[in-house]
Amino acid sequence: MIGIIGAMQVEIAGLKDKMEIKETKQIAGISFYSGTIHGVDCVLACCSPGKVNAAVCTQCMILEYHPSLVINSGVAGGIGEGVHMGDLVVAESVVQHDMDTSALGDPKGYVSGPDITYFPASAPVVEAILKAAVPIYAGGTHQGIIATGDQFIGSNQKLMEIRNDFGAICCEMEGGSIGHTCYLNQVPFAVIRTISDNGNDDAATDFMQFAKDAAEKSTRLLYDILPALEIGIRS
């Protein structure tokens, strides 16, 4: 079974519409839809924005459904050079830009316990997604670091800080905590994000205008790739 998480309804709507829903369960106030999408056994949930919402959703999903892969799909602010609105970013790893014990001598983003800063996404899944993305995104695909925090980034100063501190090419609010939770549970994960804004002074206006189209682009890609991902997981 593949687990799919979006933070906003618009980030799961395209898949929910196409899902043959066999069962819906409420856990921790979150609706988990299980059934098939494009013939693949899936569980789908909308976690609501932010790291705690995303972590609770991921942990509940793992304990209840035991997915062999968790995919976070949605939109993000593009902060990397050459990363444009409408482009795809696939995480090679995720980092939490607001996790900061650097005053104690740790690197920014470092998470004690698992003892790691950058949580690696499943490399074969990343590769398969990037390959499948070509017809939808033409040349606008990128692989890199996604930075997550409990903050909507909407200023040039903050986006430069995140880019410089972490080498991130996009910012959002859930991928890092979904990756963190999957890592703790030894479940492979992937994060795919379509750029809805550039995290700059225009970000809020752009987000309002473009988030829906961007989210739908991510879900279209995910729909296309699901059968190949399932075969990859089985083999």
Catalytic machinery residues: 11, 197
165 burial (CB, 10 Å; 0-12 / 13-18 / 19+) is middle
CB-based closest residue to ligand ADE: 77
Print the binding letters for residues 66-85 with ligand ADE: x by CB under 6 A, - otherwise.
Answer: ---------xxx--------
Amino acid letter, 173 = M
One character per residue 116-155, x = contact with ligand ADE (rule: CB under 6 A): ------------------------------------xxx-
Q: Pattern 193-232, binding to ligand ADE, x per CB under 6 A?
A: ---xx-x---x---x-------------------------
Residue 138, phi-psi category: left (phi > 0), alpha (psi -120 to 50), beta (remainder)? left
Contacts of 160 by beta carbon, 8 Å cutoff, 6+ apart: 79
Residues near 174 by Cβ (< 8 Å), separated by ≥ 6?
5, 7, 47, 49, 50, 51, 53, 54, 72, 74, 148
Tell me the closest approach of the beta carbon of residue 137 to ligand ADE, in angstroms: 17
In degrees, to the nearest 5, what angle opens at C-alpha 176 toward C-alphas 48 and 104? Answer: 125
Structure tokens that stand for 79 in this block: 């902060």
Least distance (Å) between residue 186 CB and ligand ADE: 27
Phi, psi of 199 (to 5 degrees): 65, 15
Give bridge partners of residue 71 from the DSSP assignment: 4, 190
Specify the residue, 87 or 197, whose C-beta has the smaller distance to ligand ADE. Answer: 197
Is residue 190 within the footprint of ligand ADE (CB under 6 A)? no
Residues in contact with ligand ADE by the rule CB under 6 A: 75-77, 152-154, 171-173, 196-197, 199, 203, 207
